[in-house]
Amino acid sequence: MIVPWLNDSGQTQCVLADRGDVLISQMTHFAQEWDPRSPEVQRDQVAAFDDMRRRQPVAWSDLLGWTFFRHADVVRALLDTDTFSSEVSRHLSVPGGMDPPRHTKYRRLINPYFSPARMAEFEPVCREVARDLLEVLRDREDVEFTSEVTLPFAVAVQSRFLGWPREIESEIARWIRRSQRATREQDRTVLSQVAGEFEEIIHRLLDARVSAPDGRDLTASLMREQIEDRPLTREELTSILRTWTAGEIGTVSASVGILIHFLRNRPELCEILRSQTQKIEEASDEILRLHGPLVMSRRVTTREVEVCGRVILAGQRVSLNWISANRDEEVFADAHEFRFGRDPGKNLLYGIGIHACPGAPMARLEMRVFLEEWLNSGIEWELDPEEAPVNAFFPDSGFSKLPLILHASEPMLRS
Ligand code: HEM
């Protein structure tokens, strides 16, 4: 039986499932009320989730168990960690699959890696990656933006952040594409292979640092960390690095594609962001509120609980739908419109509570730097009239293909 395993970002579903993952939840059968993989949902996930939130805000599917679509119910589950546990799988997932007090210790260890000082130090590297990718586009008339820009950008940034060699970047990009295809096609043999391949890549990178223990890069520094007066185990290190790469590269890549797709025919907004760069971060959070890059995160109930009139027994799987919660009309006025000046506390893009994204400063840095470089590159862009964008398939969001037509003019400015 394939039991889906999702990381915090819901991006590597089934990869580990096929390696024997067992959910710690009761397998209860209810009448299926929706199917996240149905063609109707896949045609337009955002619209389908809007529809579910209005019609059936807490709904059962065989694949995910209970899904919460309303902002209020998602927030309730995020804040009530006693009732909604993150220990959804017997596979180690540091720290996403942990509850307090264990979770707290690992978060203390991870948080400093995304401090303002580290982000400031990393910004020039991130900018160089964006500039190199965009420079090549200046001579092009068209581009498949996902495979040629957003994925290589996300891979290169993450890989350089961790201090990995450049040769590994194309290997990781290939791995992500293979993993996404295998997840889509539900090919168990390939799923099992790709899971093993990723661990092999990480082990190779760790082995290289065992033989050079004084290394100054971030991976070497993680290897020197202590938890409860002992070094992190190989399994813990692999789990941390898997979340920071396999999990989040897909989310960052989807986010950049969503931003560029949204801005394609909004010249006034582009002009505001060009002239007032301090507004880029707010704009990016708002665009990604409208079209979330992350579909869902999982929890499991520890006791019986009533949510939105539905009784959920103890030990049941729960999926928190970020895309829907962030478009809830009960919380956001004109919820489906872009607006400056919204209450940032209500936007669930990076989660809330103890599991709120530790990598948010890095993700925001990536969005800001990419948009600054893109908007000042002088490249004009539009959708390809002959080839429509292809929506990503659940559990991914954004666009699996984003063909664009490019018109190059002079770069606006360069700092
Ligand atoms: C646009 C990009 C990103 C988005 C939208 C995003 C969103 C989120 C969300 C919503 C959560 C909470 C999950 C939950 O409550 O179950 C989360 C957790 C997490 N994210 Fe991100 N994330 C992004 C990028 C990153 C990056 C770049 C990293 C690291 C390099 C990262 C590392 C993590 C980790 C380790 C967790 C688990 C935290 C915990 O359980 O305490 N994320 N992310």
Q: Would you say the CB of residue 318 lies under 6 angstroms from ligand 1?
A: no
Please work out whether the CB of residue 96 comes within 6 Å of at least one atom of ligand 1: yes
**For residue 300, which of 69, 90, 70 has the smallest C-alpha distance?**
90
Give the pLDDT of residue 320: 98
Using CA atoms, how far residue 104 sits from 17, 94, 97, 231, in Å, is: 26, 11, 12, 17
At residue 181, the pLDDT reads 84
What is the Å distance from ligand 1's center to 64 Cα? Answer: 20
Location of structure tokens 């942990």: 98
The answer, yes or no, to whether any atom of ligand 1 lies below 6 A from the CB of 88, is: no
Residues in the chain: 415
Task: Tell me which residue of 134, 174, 180 sits closest to 153, measured CA to CA.
Answer: 134
Report how far ligand 1's centroid is from the alpha carbon of 410 (Å).
37
Pairing of strands 142-144, 403-408: antiparallel
Q: Is 223 exposed, middle or buried (0-12, 13-18, 19+ CB in 10 A)?
A: middle
Question: What is the reported pLDDT for 179?
Answer: 87
pLDDT for residue 191: 85
Q: How far does the centroid of ligand 1 lie from the alpha carbon of residue 96, in Å?
A: 8
Residues of the chain with pLDDT under 70: 1-29, 213, 410-415
Q: Which fold has domain 17-408?
A: Cytochrome p450 (1.10.630)
**In contact, 86 and 98? CB cutoff 8 Å:** yes
Q: Which of 357, 369, 396 for mutating ligand 1's site (highest number of atoms within 8 Å of CB)?
A: 357
Query: Which tens digits make up the pLDDT trace of 60-101?
Result: 999 999 999 999 999 999 999 999 999 999 889 999 999 999
Residue 177 one-letter amino acid = R
Q: What pLDDT does residue 411 have? A: 60
Q: Is the CB of 338 under 6 A from ligand 1?
A: no
- Out of 5, 6, 7, 8, mutate this one to test ligand 1's pocket (max ligand atoms within 8 Å of CB): namely 8
391 CA to middle of ligand 1, Å? 22
User: What tokens does 370 get?
Assistant: 């990419």
Give yes or no for residue 361 CB within 6 A of ligand 1. Answer: no
Beta bridge partners of 382: 405
Cα 84 from Cα 88, distance rounded (Å) = 10
**Which residue, 397, 285, 407, is CA-closest to 47?**
397
pLDDT for the residue 159: 96
Q: Is the CB of residue 67 below 6 angstroms from any atom belonging to ligand 1?
A: no
Mean pLDDT of the chain: 91
Give the span between the Cα atoms of 411 and 72, in whole angstroms: 45
Residue in 248, 291, 368 to alter for ligand 1 test, most ligand atoms within 8 A of Cβ: 248
Q: Rounded to the nearest whole angstrom, what is the distance from the C-alpha of residue 8 to the centroid of ligand 1?
A: 7
Q: 271: CA distance to ligand 1 center in Å?
A: 30
357 Cα–ligand 1 center, Å: 4
Residue nearest to atom 41 of ligand 1 (CA): 355
Cα 67 from Cα 312, distance rounded (Å): 11
The Cβ of residue 397 has, within 10 Å, a number of other Cβ atoms equal to 28
Q: Hey, whose CA ends up nearest to atom 13 of ligand 1?
A: 8
Q: What is the DSSP letter of 392?
A: P
Query: Residue 170 has what DSSP assignment?
Result: H
| Distance in angstroms (rounded) separating the CA atoms of residues 362 and 158 | 9
- Distance between CA atoms of residues 157 and 161, nearest Å: 6
CA 244 to ligand 1 centroid distance, Å = 8
CB of 289 closer than 6 angstroms to any ligand 1 atom: no
AA identity, residue 174: R
**pLDDT value at position 4?**
38
Task: For residue 273, give the nearest of 364, 348, 345, 340 by alpha carbon.
Answer: 340
- Using CA atoms, how far apart are residues 395 and 37, in angstroms rounded to an integer? 9
Bridge partners, 406 (sequence order): 381
Residue closest by Cα to atom 36 of ligand 1: 357
Rounded-to-integer distance, Cα 252 and Cα 213, Å: 30
- Give the pLDDT confidence score for residue 180 in this predicted structure: 83
Task: Quote the pLDDT of residue 183.
Answer: 80
